[in-house]
Amino acid sequence: MLNEKKEAEKPLILVSVVVDDLKRIQTMVGHDTTNRFLEMIGMLMKDSFQANPFGDRKMNRKSRRAAQFSFYHTRSNVMTFLTEAPLDIIQDQLDHLARQLKTPIQFSKYTIATKAHIDVIFTDYYKDQETCDEVYDMINYMASHNEATTDTAIYVLNEDIINRKLRYSTIENMLRNAIEQDGFEMVYQPIFHAKNKLFLSSEALVRLTDTATVGFVSPEEFIPIAEKKGLIMELGEIVFEKVCAFTREKKLQDMGIEYIEVNLSGIQCVHPDLPSQLQNIMKKYQINPGFINLEITETAFMESGEMLQVNMLQLRQMGCSFSMDDFGTGYSNLSRMAEVVYDLVKLDKSLIWPCFNEKTSEENNKANAILENIIKLLLQLNITIVAEGVETKEMATYLDDRGVTHLQGYYYSKPISEDTYLNFLMDAKESISA
């Protein structure tokens, strides 16, 4: 129908209801009940628009014929209808649908409250697209990137969303080009070992920059895009190979480095090819697996399930060690952590900085109590702690006094290029000798 409308150059509005928490609902009630729930959502849409599609507005016969509705289940959590009615004609019905979606849906023995939002692509954007694939692409983008709120937000396509979609597509192209043309750069952030007063390890971080388009892109932005577009395993392989090649070429172990931390994304963690991929690269560059510490975020740890533990076991048997990264940003618990062996836990800066903010003494006391108890529990589990985000001498002293032996942050060094990192290590070694 979309192709037919486009060829006829008819005006069109696409309205999508996006169930943002469909995975949660499916986990809670199962596949069959989730399908029935989606049918109920479809019924709400039809009731809102077909029972009284034009509200109290008076329309001529031609306008009424134009304002017909066609409904489609466009992807697992998205239902879309198409209409030739102007947006101002259906605004009341959109508001009514939004209110309906805020109300828990009851059927059979279930009462399900959902998080959903409504996306609207209007005529002007539709007519500007060269292919219908681009329209579907925008439907999918808005479904994935607009957020549900307690008010069941209605998002009408605007210049800001178009620009964000353009940036998203630009970064995707940057990723593909960087994979094909070796366009990624590695930087390293030294980690200070307080017990030895030496820099004995570092974290490897990947960087993506294109001065011709958007310039520097943070990993927090391009890693999720790589995951969604199926590029993360290729990217992860490139990063790991660059780390191993650098380690081999510059003989980092001879410079006193005991291990390098390498980040794994959530999708990498559960990919069945991960252990063999990393093993092949380590063999290629003759890297002792004990030199590699693999970082897994707290959120990935909680969401990855059994496959993560299978991969961890294989890699640990090779000799690799593991860190839980960004501890404090997710929702893990220490009892669950005790089930899986981590050599290091990296405390996120969000746990540390509140202890040093200019707040009331009561707020600082609470932050201190939380941090100190987490440190004590981790030490009782014989887990080495790395503190991230250390930016002042006061922070470093505070953490060192409480048994945190590994410190990382701008107080010591920001992430630096390979050449700068080598110079940093040599300077640090000379200062100790002096």
- Give residue-wise pLDDT tens across range 131-179: 677 888 888 899 988 876 666 789 999 999 999 999 999 999 999 999 9
In this structure, are 101 and 242 located in the same domain? Answer: no
How many distinct structural domains can be found in the chain?
2
* pTM recorded for the entire structure: 0.84
In this structure, are 178 and 71 located in the same domain? Answer: no
- Which of 108, 129, 157 is the endpoint of a domain? 157
Compute the mean pLDDT over every residue in the chain, rounded to the nearest whole number: 86
Task: Give Cα separations from 193 to 62, 250, 298 (angstroms).
Answer: 77, 21, 23
Confidence of residue 387 (pLDDT cuts 50, 70, 90): very high
**CATH number for the domain that contains residue 403:** 3.20.20.450
In this structure, are 138 and 281 located in the same domain? Answer: no
In this structure, are 301 and 354 located in the same domain? Answer: yes
pLDDT given at position 333: 58
User: Does residue 164 belong to any structural domain of this protein?
Assistant: no
User: Does residue 379 belong to any structural domain of this protein?
Assistant: yes
User: Does residue 86 belong to any structural domain of this protein?
Assistant: yes
Distance separating alpha carbons of residues 195 and 323, to the nearest angstrom: 19
In this structure, are 117 and 236 located in the same domain? Answer: no
All residues at 6 or more sequence positions from 48 whose CB lies less than 8 Å from its CB, including other chains:
93, 96, 97, 100
Distance separating alpha carbons of residues 347 and 327, to the nearest angstrom: 5
The SS3 call for residue 240 is: helix
Distance separating alpha carbons of residues 102 and 115, to the nearest angstrom: 8
**CATH number for the domain that contains residue 114:** 3.30.70.270
- Which of 125, 157, 189 is the endpoint of a domain? 157
User: Does residue 163 belong to any structural domain of this protein?
Assistant: no
Angle at CA 204, nearest 5°, toward 201 and 210?
Answer: 155
User: Does residue 376 belong to any structural domain of this protein?
Assistant: yes
- Which of 157, 183, 199 is the endpoint of a domain? 157
User: Does residue 162 belong to any structural domain of this protein?
Assistant: no
In this structure, are 187 and 318 located in the same domain? Answer: yes
pLDDT given at position 224: 92
For residue 209, list its beta bridge partners.
216
The SS3 call for residue 289 is: helix
In this structure, are 96 and 52 located in the same domain? Answer: yes
pLDDT given at position 58: 47
Give 104's DSSP letter. Answer: P
pLDDT at 371 over 70: yes
Average pLDDT in the 274-286 region?
98
Distance separating alpha carbons of residues 376 and 367, to the nearest angstrom: 14
In this structure, are 177 and 305 located in the same domain? Answer: yes
In this structure, are 149 and 282 located in the same domain? Answer: no
pLDDT given at position 56: 47
Domain ranges, residue 67? 2-157
Q: What is the pLDDT of residues 20-61, one digit of tens each?
A: 889 888 888 888 888 888 888 888 888 887 655 444 444 444
User: Does residue 318 belong to any structural domain of this protein?
Assistant: yes
User: Does residue 103 belong to any structural domain of this protein?
Assistant: yes
In this structure, are 126 and 252 located in the same domain? Answer: no
Average pLDDT in the 303-332 region?
86
In this structure, are 125 and 216 located in the same domain? Answer: no
In this structure, are 207 and 143 located in the same domain? Answer: no
